[in-house]
Amino acid sequence: MTAVEHRRLMSQPSPANPKPDQPGVHESARRDKLRKIIRMGIDPWGSRFDQRTHIGDIRARAGEIKFRSEAGQYLEIPDVDGQPDLDFRQWLQQQGPGQLEGPAVRAAGRIVLQRKAGKLRFVDIQDWTGKIQLFIGKQQVGDADFELAENFDLGDIVGVDGQLWRTKTGELTILAEKLHFFCKSIEPPPEKHHGLQDPELRQRMRYLDLTYSDGVLQRFLQRTRIVQSIRQTLAQAGFCEIEGPTLHTIAGGAAARPFLTHHNALDMPLFMRIALELHLKRLLVGGIERVYELGRVYRNEGISPRHNPEFTMLEVYQAFGNYETMMDLTERIITDAIDAIGGGYQLPYGDQQIDFTPPFARKTYDQLFQESTGVAPDDHVGVREYAQRLGLEIANRHPDVIKNEVFEHQVEDRLQGPVFVIDYPASICPLTKRKADQPQIAERFELFIHGMEIANAYTELNDPDLQEELFKTQLDGMPEEDSMARMDHDFIRALRHGMPPAGGLGIGIDRLVMLLTNSPTIRDVILFPLMRPESSSAKS
RNA sequence: GAGGUUGUAGCUCAGUCGGUAGAGCAACGGACUUUUAAUCCGUAGGUCCUGGGUUCGAGUCCCAGCAACCUCACCA
C-alpha cells in the first residue's frame, strides 16, 4: 500500500454515526425515558448482577409450580405446555379459592415484546438460553418499580426478582416482585413480526440478526460446538494444536492469490497466509509428530455463496500416517461434530437430506470419471475430445490437467456424498506422494458433500529432491498466479533435514458448518463476512 | 471481473398510465390488573440510495454512480 492509499483509507468517514443531525422521534422518546430513569435515582447503564438463573433453566423448573388452596393444601397443576387444548383458566376456577406458588427466581434479559394493560404490563425478556414473560402489576411491584417499567422500551436490558408462575391462560411467567435496570437502548429494534429481512442489514448489524432473527444465535453457537468438538477429537487422538504465522514472506501451500501487506519498520512486503501447510510440515521435521492448526487463512479471490476472502481452515499432520489414516480421522472428526450438535446422522440441507452415517463411500477418481463421462480415463484423445465438447480450454495443457478440468466440471458438482474421491493423477498433486506400485497415481483424497469440497488430504511427499523438482515443474508451466505453489527454499531445506512419512489433511471449517447447520451460504456461518464500507449514498 | 434483480418512514412492505407520499409494526397522547403479533380512540414521523437528464410535472421514464443479493469466472 502506498502512503497516499493509506492516508485515504484512514481518512474515510466512520459509518458509526451516519446521522449526526437531529434525533428522530424514536431516539428522542427513548432519551426522554432515559432522563426519567436517571431522575428516579437509577443508573440506566446498570452494574453487576449476581445469582441470576438463565431463562432456559428457569423454564425447566415449570413443574415446581403448585396450586395452594385456601386450606393450605398443595396440588399438582396439569401439564399446560403439553396439552394445548387444556383451558387453564377453567381448571383454576374449578379448584376454588387459592393461588399458584412457584420457586423464587432471578432473571435478566433484553426486552423483545411488551404489552400494556392499564396498571399492568407484560414484558417478554430474552437471554441467550430463551425467552420468558414477566407479569408486572402496579400493586405487585409497587409504584416506584411500576414507574420504572413505564419507561421500558423494546431493546432495553432489564432484570427481575420474582416467582415462577403461570397466568390464567397458562403462560409460564415470572410474577415480578422487584425490577432492575441494566441498559437503555437508544435505537428502536427491527419490526417485531418479520425481524430484519434485508440481508445487507443482517450482515452489517449482526448483533440485531443474532437477537431478533430466529435460529441465528443457535446457528453460531452450533458453530462453536462444532469447532470445540473438532479440537476435542484431535486432542483425544493425541494431536497438538499450534499457532503458525499469518504473515508470510512467501505465500505457499495452495493455489490462490494472496493479500499483500507491508511491514513499515522492516520496509518489507508481506503476504497474508493462504494455507497452513508448509509451517506445519516444518514442525513434523521438528519432531511434533501429531500437529494441527485451526485458523484463519486469507485468499485474494472472488466472493460467492461458498467463498469469503478470509475463512477458517483446519490442517492436520500425522507422522507415520498416510491418506488412509487421514480418511479415518476425517470421518471421526465429522461424525463427532454431528454428535456434538445432536440430531443424528440424517441432516437436512435445503430441500435434500444428507446421510452422514459412517463409513462414507470411497471411490477412485478414475472410476467416478468413467461413470460420469463414459470416457476411459486413460484415453487421452477421448478425454481431449470430451473437454472440447464442453468448451474447456485445452491448448498446451497436460492431459491430466485437461482430465481434471473435465472432472471438476462434470463430476464434482454431482457428488452428493459424503464420498471420498481417492487416487488422483499424480501430475496435478505436487505435494503428494505417489503410490509405490503406480507412480502416476497420487495418494490423495478429497471429501465431497453436496457437490462441495469439504476436505483434501495427502500422503505427504517427504523426498526433498522430488519436491523441489515438482515445484519447479509447476512454476515453469504457468504464470505465477496460476501455479500450484511458489518456490519456498526454506521449506525444501527443512525437508532435506528429514520429514517422517506422514498423512496430511485439510478441512474447510466454514463449509462443514454450512452443511451441518443447513445454511445456504457461507455468509450465514461467518459472523462478520467481508463487505464494502457503507457509503454516504448507501441506505441506512 | 461480466450479466441479472433490488434499494420508498426506525423496521416489514404497497405505490396503477408520469399528476398532492401510503399501510402494518415501532413511537407519542388517552382508556384498560391476566395480555399472547393484546385491543380501542387520537397524533407525529419521508434526502423515495446518490448525481444528472427528459418533461408543464419524475418514487415512476432515460443515463451514470454506490450498495446488497443471485448467476458465472478466479478459488476452497
Please give, one letter per residue, the 3-state secondary structure of A449-508: ECCEEEEEEEEECCCHHHHHHHHHHHHHHCCHHHCCCCCCHHHHHHHHHCCCCEEEEEEE
Closest nucleotide to A299, Cα to C1': B75
CA terminus-to-terminus distance, chain A = 30
Asked whether residue A192, judged by its CB, lies under 7 Å from any atom of the DNA or RNA strand B, the reply is yes
pLDDT of residue A347: 94
pLDDT of residue A477: 56
Q: Using a 7 Å cut-off to protein CB atoms, list the covered nucleotides of chain B.
A: 1, 7-13, 24-28, 31-39, 44-45, 47, 49-50, 65-76
pLDDT of residue A14: 37
Protein chain A, residues 101-160, with a C-beta closer than 7 Å to any atom of nucleic acid strand B: 113-120, 122, 133, 135, 137-140, 153-154
Asked whether residue A168, judged by its CB, lies under 7 Å from any atom of the DNA or RNA strand B, the reply is yes
Contacts of A187 (CB under 8 A, 6+ apart): A26, A27, A30, A155
Spatial separation of the C-alpha atoms in residues A107 and A179, rounded to whole Å: 10
Mark the ranges of chain A whose per-residue pLDDT is less than 50: 1-21, 480-484, 536-540
CA A538 – C1' B51 distance (Å)?
13
CA A26 – C1' B62 distance (Å)?
38
Task: Map grid coordinates 440424517 to a residue.
Answer: A346
pLDDT of residue A5: 44
Q: In angstroms, what CA-CA distances link A313 with A146, A292, A425, A509, A525?
A: 52, 10, 24, 6, 14
A122 CB-contact burial (10 Å; exposed 0-12 / middle 13-18 / buried 19+): middle
Spatial separation of the C-alpha atoms in residues A505 and A327, rounded to whole Å: 8
Three cell numbers written together for A39: 431522575
Contact A225, A218 (CB under 8 A): no
ipTM of the complex: 0.91
Contacts of A351 (CB under 8 A, 6+ apart): none
pLDDT of residue A476: 65
Protein chain A, residues 279-318, with a C-beta closer than 7 Å to any atom of nucleic acid strand B: 299, 301-309, 311
CA A525 – C1' B66 distance (Å)?
27
Spatial separation of the C-alpha atoms in residues A526 and A515, rounded to whole Å: 13
- State the nearest residue by CA to the C1' of B7: A539
CA A364 – C1' B61 distance (Å)?
59
Q: Which helix (H) or strand (E) holds A136?
A: strand A130-137
pLDDT of residue A389: 78
Tell me the three state secondary structure of residue A71.
Answer: coil
Closest CA to A406 of A429, A389, A426: A389
